[in-house]
Amino acid sequence: MLTRSHLLVMLLALSSGLTACSSSTPPVASPVLRFDREVNYGDDKAVELVTNEFGSTDLQMIAEKMTGSLLETGIFQGRPTVTISTVKNKTSEYIDTTNIMNSIQTTLVKSGKVRFTRSINEMQAGVDELQRQNQSGLYKQHSTAKIGKMTAAKYSLEGELTSIVKDNGSTKDVFYKFTLKMFDVEEGTIEWQDEKQIRKTSKR
Amino acid sequence: MKSLLLAATLGCMTCLAHAAQPANPTPPAVAAKVALRGEPYGVRVAEMRIVRKNDILTVQADLENTVRANRTVFYRFRWLDDMGNQVGDGESWKQMGLYGLQLQTVKSVAPNSSATDLKLEMNVEQK
């Protein structure tokens, strides 16, 4: 049974607690520049579910699956040379497929199990540098990189990304399939192949 | 009346505890490799198989939903070297749906040969 004196004691305790809180030191400001709109750095590895278009999580999942599959097969015994060929985007979206291949290449290079040679897209920059060193007359003869010494790739990576989209007005279903093949350049045979399938469904 | 209320409350709490903890929890040897954030909501890691293939550590983990309701699991593997340091930049988080009473296998491959151990980070959502 609560009496009037009990209530008085409780109120006093509450008010003294509030006073203690208000007199505590304010938190220190973080070294950030912020305006009205709240902006924060997020977790770059978090599952991105903003829309069901191709996103960062799809890119990361594809790259992880492909590199994992390549590394566990043991096809890279003896650190062979590999180059990146075409990666076709057969979806209706604009997707920078080079980004997927860059992620795969980065992980494979960091694994130390394989050496990458210049891809077709990267070749012109290499040729330009060789020509600058050998034909400009600006460099000491013995210090220049020699023409005709490049190592050719034993394997070539070719991929494609496709999608199937279904939309009935209330539900949108997107199915992505990324297929990657590794060809033996000399023999023209497929030495490894894998695919990653992703289903994303959104409801309105 | 008071005892009836108390019994009902205790009953609810028992129900919640059952919903959170699977009847057959993750085995201790596997649990040592799992970093679970929050409640498992009936999901357990039934088995974990770690094999070194071609000098690269690979893992397969069986995630089992022990309840009838569907669950959503967020997970990723964290690879560690023999000093306990993280190997590589860390995997991305993955989302996986588990139907009621379903067992699903997830797998991963270490980014390089220096990985000697791993942790499965996961959390479970009820929806």
pLDDT band at A115 (very low <50, low <70, confident <90, very high): very high
Residue spans of alpha helices (H) in A34-189 = 56-73, 97-111, 120-135
List domains and CATH numbers for chain B.
Answer: 2-125 (2.60.40.3230)
Instruction: Answer whether residue A8 shows pLDDT above 70.
Output: no
pLDDT at A3: 61
Q: Report which of residues B26 and B106 the model is more confident about.
A: B106
Q: What is the mean pLDDT of residues A13-40?
A: 65
Q: Residue A69: is its pLDDT beyond 80?
A: yes
Tokens (6 digits) for B50: 């770690």
Residue B10 pLDDT: 44
Structure tokens given for A133: 């060193």
Token pair 């505590």 is at which residue? A24
Chain B residues at the A interface, defined by Cβ less than 8 Å, are 53-54, 56, 58, 74, 76, 88, 90-95, 107-113
* pLDDT tens digits, one per residue of A180-202: 999 999 999 999 999 999 999 99
Instruction: Give the minimum alpha-carbon distance from A61 to chain B in angstroms, rounded to a whole number.
Output: 7
Out of A73, A74, A110, name the one closest to residue B111 (CB): A110
- Do the Cβ atoms of A46 and B93 come within 8 Å? yes
Q: Tokens 């003869």 map to which residue?
A: A141
- For the record, the structure tokens of B40 come out as 């498992």
In this predicted structure, what is the pLDDT of residue B6?
44
Domain ranges for chain A: 52-117+152-203
Return the residue of B nearest to A47 by Cα.
B93
**How many angstroms away from the CA of A119 is the closest CA of chain B?**
23
Check residue B114 and give its pLDDT: 96
How far apart CA A185 and CA A156 sit, in angstroms, is: 6
A48: CB partners within 8 A, 6+ apart: A55, A56, A57
> Cβ A110–B74 below 8 Å, yes or no?
no
Residue A157 has pLDDT above 60, yes or no: yes
| Fold (topology level) of A52-117+152-203 | Rossmann fold (3.40.50)
Please give the pLDDT value at position A40. 84
| Contact between A72 and B54 using a beta-carbon 8 Å cutoff | yes
Chain A residues bordering chain B (beta-carbon distance below 8 Å): 43, 45-47, 49, 56-57, 60-61, 64, 67-69, 71-74, 77, 107, 110-113
Complex prediction ipTM:
0.83
Confidence of residue B106 (pLDDT cuts 50, 70, 90): very high
Smallest Cα distance from B76 to chain A, Å: 10
3-state secondary structure B101-121: CCEEEEEEECCCCCCCEEEEE
Strands B34-37 and B117-125: parallel
Region A31-57 average pLDDT = 85
> Average pLDDT in the A118-147 region?
95
Tell me the mean pLDDT in the region A165-174: 96
Question: Which residues of chain B make contact with A49, given a CB cutoff of 8 A?
Answer: 95
